[in-house]
Structure 1
Amino acid sequence: MNVDVTIVGAGAGGLTLATILGKAGFRILVIDARDEIRPVRRGELIQPLGLEILEEIGLLEPLYALPHIRYSEFVFLDGKGRPLMRSRYDLGNDRFPFAVSLEPHLMDQMVLSHLASLANVDVRFGAAYVEHHDTGDGVDLWWSEGERMCQAHTKVLVGDDGRRSLVRKNAGIPGRIETYRDSYLSWSFDCPADAPESVKNPLGRYFIGRGKIFFLFAVSPRRRFFLYMLPNGDRNSLRRRGLRAFLSELDDWVPGLGNVLSQTGLETLEQIPDMSVMKIDLDRWSSGPVVLIGDAAHAMNPHVAQGRNQSMEDARVLGKLLSREMSAGQGSVLQGIAEYESRRKPRTMELHRLADEMTWIWNSGNPVIVALREKVFRGLDKMPSVSRKIVRTISGLSFEPLTPMDKLKAFWSG
């Protein structure tokens, strides 16, 4: 089998890239070790950057047809539920003054359905990548489908196979792979019709207390999702406290939530998945005609809310550059890959630095840092020009970090 581009991993970036290159007429192979795209108990935000990309590839309206919620703002509260600030999308963008929240598997299934209409795109599930070899004129790769070993020759091999990427390992791409100290519990549930208004309210809420973080938002008119920070990733401490104490703590933030979770099937703490948080910061993103996108290249902390959106931006930039090079008679895919890396790597490094700063401040249990943080948050709420920088960065539209003077002004205003 000979193809133009093989993508390992049918994630947000891989499927977006397959769409861009498939629509351009190239022969695309996508392999994924999973049997199918299955539901996961979490929600994700499609920021204005992601919405812009979906519009560009003709998939924005199909996205809007999925169960989702449009968020024009998120509210940040302290550990006692008192408002600190509101993050308003209308401060940062006129075309998309909102983010879309939904269950990520629904979007992936939607894109996959669209790809099925492209005869030049072959998507194979139950196809586990094994190894590859650079041949000078491309890559030979092997994957398994059950007991059968399959082989293909491709001009470019793209790894979108996640944080523990086997493509990255086999390509010998070096870098720093770190796990953040704190992890998160993630859970989604259907909100009963008789749930208290505090739970039914779809408002996106960030509770940030002393060494505590709890994030609750809606992913559809009926469905809710939360993240709960597990300090030091210490699940044993949570087990010792027990389910009742955990639900009582959630009730302190959102009255009635503990009872709703019990009603909807949460019976033990072991049911709730533990999501570790990793930072992938590589020396380079490619090795010859092998290139990485998404979490394989730059997994980042969820505080910047950019994982899916930056993966899609990887796909948009790489897709356009590969299309240009493969369409030119004397084009060089290596040149396209090098340009992709030079354009994308600096932005993700900036986001890593921002995420590290946010993690140090937001996750802190130090009472002095907490007091300073809350004062700055309240000040930011009074400064639309500075809040605009935050929204523009989180939207993915630009990178506008706060200056020391911005922070100082916010502190005095708070």
Structure 2
Amino acid sequence: MDIESNGNNKRVFNRLGTRQPQSSHHHQNQNQKVCFHWQAGRCTRNPCAFLHRELPPPPLPHSTHPSTSSYNGGASKRAHGGLGSGGRNDGFSSRKNPNFNNTWGRVGGSSGGGPVNKMERVCNYWIQGNCTYGDNCKYLHSWSIGDSFSLLTTLEGHQKVVTGITLPSGDKLYSGSQDEHVKIWDCSSGQCVSTIPVGGEIGCMISEGPWVFIGLPNMVKAWNIETVTDLSLSGPVGQVYGLVVGNDLLFAGTQDGSILAWKFNPATNCFEPAASLTGHTSAVVTMFVGANRLYSGSMDHTIRVWNLETLQCIQILKEHTEVVMSVLCWEQFLLSASLDNTIKVWAATPSGNLEVTYTHTEKQGILSLCGMYDSGGKPVLLCSTNANDVHIYDLPSFMERGKIMSKKEIRVIQAGPSGLFFTGDGNGEVRVWNWLTAPKTGM
């Protein structure tokens, strides 16, 4: 199954003029082919003879893990997007499983770990390094609860909230912040190898093939890390909060409520304006591409569904009562999260319109969603809230299996390769986590 979320689009971006397509269908492994038309968001075959997924099945568990002093991101040129943070097309038009409508939110709907019933508070004295109670302290001396994942290392250096994390190559991690800098981290040593000022607060950041795209006030920066090209795409009005790629286009969600699109011209090596999508009455803060549709969530409390071929709005979803902070696709479902404390699961009716089939409620407003596979190949959803934490749920049961805490709110969750994932918080810290193949023996 494919799980994705806004911001982690890791297909080779040959449409940006850096590589030539190999064929109409290319090999995923020796016996499987990925549907080229699905990759472009155009496949209309149901069922399709080719794969509507890019990742191979989750790897078999292995016994070795990176040390806590470093992490190795070199195992894959493509960030493991599972339900990561990307705009890759998902199989809304395929693999429809009617049983999911009956298992959302049900205990037993997933075979993952048991529920986490006690969500302790992190000890403030432990944070400051002077708790005298040690193991007898009634508060938590850890940044997480759960036996299926662990913290590898913390990357410190940003001065303000981290708003973007991406891996355009196998050996470097890029992080962006409202401190107006992009930091580049070496994945083997965990050391910052470069700090680049960009001249404005970073609202979002994604990568596609060799390109890194950075959302800034009134501009999108495009870096090609292979050719060392630095382009500035003008046109946005106000802060760019969301970026996504689909159907040969780069989309930017802006503060004035519009969505701008550019198309790469290999002849001029430039991005040329292609369209402006209007309709939202307030800032567009999240976007996702799936099944030939662009989904945009806004501060106007709505989600708009756009046809990627015509770039026309075909439906407006109005069930949320606050800012829509995150949207993503899983199987034939759309998941949306809002500051109204809810995650809504949308499914298509026979007419093709999306309707809410399940609502999950948190105690605080929700900031971000991210999805991926755990080490056993089970789909999990990570949900960050205004309570400075991330809840980890099995899908589709929403059974809680873990929790991550932070000093400040976690704005970014990013899936990575080789069982890694990353969180970026309001304290300017990037934490590196990994899924374990065996339960932890202690905290």
Per the normalisation by structure 2, the TM-score is 0.27
Higher relative strand content? 2
Higher relative helix content? 1
Indicate the structure (1 or 2) with the bigger Cα radius of gyration.
Answer: 1
